[in-house]
Structure 1
Amino acid sequence: MLQYPAIDPVAINLGPLAVHWYGLMYAVGFAAAWWLGRLRARTAHSPVRPAQIDDLLFYLALGAVVGGRLGYILFYDFNNFIANPLMLLRIWEGGMSFHGGLLGVVAAAWLFRRKTGVGYLRLMDFVAPLVPIGLGAGRIGNFINGELWGKPTDLPWGMVYPPLGELARHPSQLYQAFMEGLLLFLILWVFSRKPRPAGSVAGLFLAAYGLFRLLAEFARMPDAHIGYLAWGWLTMGQLLSLPMILGGLGLMSWAYRSRQASF
């Protein structure tokens, strides 16, 4: 049994300015996406030129933050938002939805595509491997914030988080950091090293993330103000991930049948 290492969620205090670890994790994710994007843009089959990476990352970052916050409000905390609309701005307290962020990125990529003329599916195939490092960093931010804890466990790596009592719990944030971050990145990076049918990399991202999220939710406590949606185990995260799995598999199947311009 392990003890949670109480970590101050504020990384740096600069007078009236407090830099939170959660915000730094977003910076890590965007920096990694920028560096990986520059690396991928140099390959012969890239649909994006190196000179376009800065603009692309601006679009994606804006879509991820705005979509992530709006998605959290819509899917998880709409009643509190109605009572206190200013909570929309307090992203350093947590409260970002991956599924909302995904919709924001999809919309932002569409706007970038309209500006540049890049094929949409090829663009999403380019973007997909850039995302997991940021997802993993975000889960580490959840761990530092002491949020999204797992269910009680007697496994040797169970962790006691004092505000929740003396029971050891799954460090589910770290499970998700590994699966949605490192493992998903390796799968997508290796898969996309060779030209693939347009849409196949994006489809693999959707299916693999949805599967990893669905599995991780079995070890994670549901949001206290929502609870389980059905059958004593179905969570909101799982419900939102099921269409991702089906849509991702469908997109991959379509991509390999149609064999449109490869990426």
Structure 2
Amino acid sequence: MTTLYINWDFDSEIINIFGFPLKYYGLLFASGLLLSMYILKIIYRRENLKDSAHEALFLYGIIGIFAGARLGHCLFYDFDYYSKNILEIFLPIQKTINGGYKFSGYAGLASHGGTVGLIVSLFLYSKKYEIKYLKILDLIAIVAPLGAVFIRLANLMNSEMIGNPSTLPWAFIFSKIDSVPRHPAQLYEAIAYLFIFGIVFAIYKTKNITLGNGFLFGLAITLIFTMRILIEFVKINQVEFEEGMLLNMGQLLSLPFIAIGIYFMGKNVTRKRS
């Protein structure tokens, strides 16, 4: 009996205009951000928050996510290279074999770093617009899993963060990598994050559940990074130094977020009992 696997052969580049490529990654990243902002606009009005505060959130969010994700990748996943090519951390360029530079886009973003960057930028945002910090973290936590769905779909279009070999009937052959059937780990994560979005959003909309500030934030990051740890077991390692490690870098970096999430959920439960 012959198993028909899914042959994945998408070009990561949609179109190239005078040397400037439009890629699926950027399109999906932007789409996830815009959809999240649209949902947040509805939530802001429900919470009686100003439209001006919502409009400013986009700038704070994109700077925090992007700066954190970029620095996170450069520091934790490819420090040896970027410590010798510091300019490439900040500019979308890459050194050529001739010693010059070419436009490459930002190749390398880490979700853990993006989370930290967003948390920091939201602290500054909360001070500027006089919104309780934990309240704004809760509101962002509602749409954060949805944004993560689009990022993992973008990884799928790039044929990156691929899974281990698999004989399952839904295995993908990432033909730009090799001819081996593999777990579509990016798709697993995207589906998991979509369910998490549904859970967090449903809890937010259920008015008969009284929760303190910080609970939704704690719940979201606990679920997101728990799934990240579990799904990493069916992924190939992203960098060479992870070979032989009991937990890879993505899993190790997820542990502090889970601890923080449990703390905030536990804090709310304790407060409610007292």
- Among 173, 188, 199, the alignment partner of 1:187 is 199
Report the CA distance between 1:47 and its aligned residue.
Answer: 6.6
Give yes or no for the alignment of 1:66 onto 2:67: yes
Give yes or no for the alignment of 1:31 onto 2:28: no
Q: Which structure has the bigger radius of gyration?
A: 2
Do the aligned partners of 2:8 and 2:173 also contact (CA within 8 Å) in 1? Answer: no
Deviation by residue 1:38-80 (Cα, 9 ceiling, x = unmatched) = 111121xx27333311101210111000100001111111111
Report the CA distance between 1:130 and its aligned residue.
Answer: 1.7
Report the CA distance between 1:93 and its aligned residue.
Answer: 5.3
CA distance in 1, matches of 2:232, 2:145: 18
TM-score for the superposition, normalised by structure 2: 0.87
The aligned amino acid for 1:192 is Y
Report the CA distance between 1:166 and its aligned residue.
Answer: 2.8
Do the aligned partners of 1:113 and 1:120 also contact (CA within 8 Å) in 2? Answer: yes
Sequence identity percentage: 30
Provide the residue aligned with 2:240 in structure 1: 225
CA distance in 2, matches of 1:48, 1:104: 23
**1:162–1:93 Cα change, 3 Å:** farther
TM-score for the superposition, normalised by structure 1: 0.90
Paired residue total: 254
Provide the residue aligned with 1:53 in structure 2: 54
Provide the residue aligned with 1:245 in structure 2: 258
Report the CA distance between 1:163 and its aligned residue.
Answer: 4.3
CA distance in 1, matches of 2:88, 2:23: 16
Mean CA deviation greater in 66-75 or 79-88 = 79-88
CA distance in 1, matches of 2:130, 2:136: 10
Deviation by residue 1:122-149 (Cα, 9 ceiling, x = unmatched) = 1100111121222111111111111111
CA distance in 2, matches of 1:20, 1:187: 31
Do the aligned partners of 1:33 and 1:57 also contact (CA within 8 Å) in 2? Answer: no
Report the CA distance between 1:161 and its aligned residue.
Answer: 1.9
Please state whether the residue corresponding to 2:120 is helix, strand or coil.
helix
Provide the residue aligned with 2:162 in structure 1: 149
The aligned amino acid for 2:79 is F
Query: Which blocks of at least 5 consecutive residues in structure 2 are unaligned?
Result: 93-103
Provide the residue aligned with 1:216 in structure 2: 231
Provide the residue aligned with 1:173 in structure 2: 186
Give yes or no for the alignment of 1:205 onto 2:220: yes
Report the CA distance between 1:165 and its aligned residue.
Answer: 3.1
Do the aligned partners of 2:145 and 2:220 also contact (CA within 8 Å) in 1? Answer: no
Provide the residue aligned with 1:106 in structure 2: 119
Please state whether the residue corresponding to 1:160 is helix, strand or coil.
strand
The aligned amino acid for 2:196 is L
The aligned amino acid for 1:39 is I
CA distance in 2, matches of 1:256, 1:57: 32
Please state whether the residue corresponding to 2:10 is helix, strand or coil.
coil
The aligned amino acid for 1:184 is I
Provide the residue aligned with 1:83 in structure 2: 84
CA distance in 2, matches of 1:87, 1:3: 35
The aligned amino acid for 2:68 is G
Provide the residue aligned with 2:175 in structure 1: 162
Query: Would you identify which runs of 4 or more consecutive aligned residues in structure 1 move more than 6 Å?
Result: none
Do the aligned partners of 1:47 and 1:122 also contact (CA within 8 Å) in 2? Answer: no
Provide the residue aligned with 2:271 in structure 1: 258
CA distance in 1, matches of 2:136, 2:237: 34
Do the aligned partners of 1:149 and 1:171 also contact (CA within 8 Å) in 2? Answer: yes
Do the aligned partners of 1:22 and 1:94 also contact (CA within 8 Å) in 2? Answer: no
Please state whether the residue corresponding to 1:148 is helix, strand or coil.
coil
Report the CA distance between 1:10 and its aligned residue.
Answer: 1.4
Please state whether the residue corresponding to 1:83 is helix, strand or coil.
coil
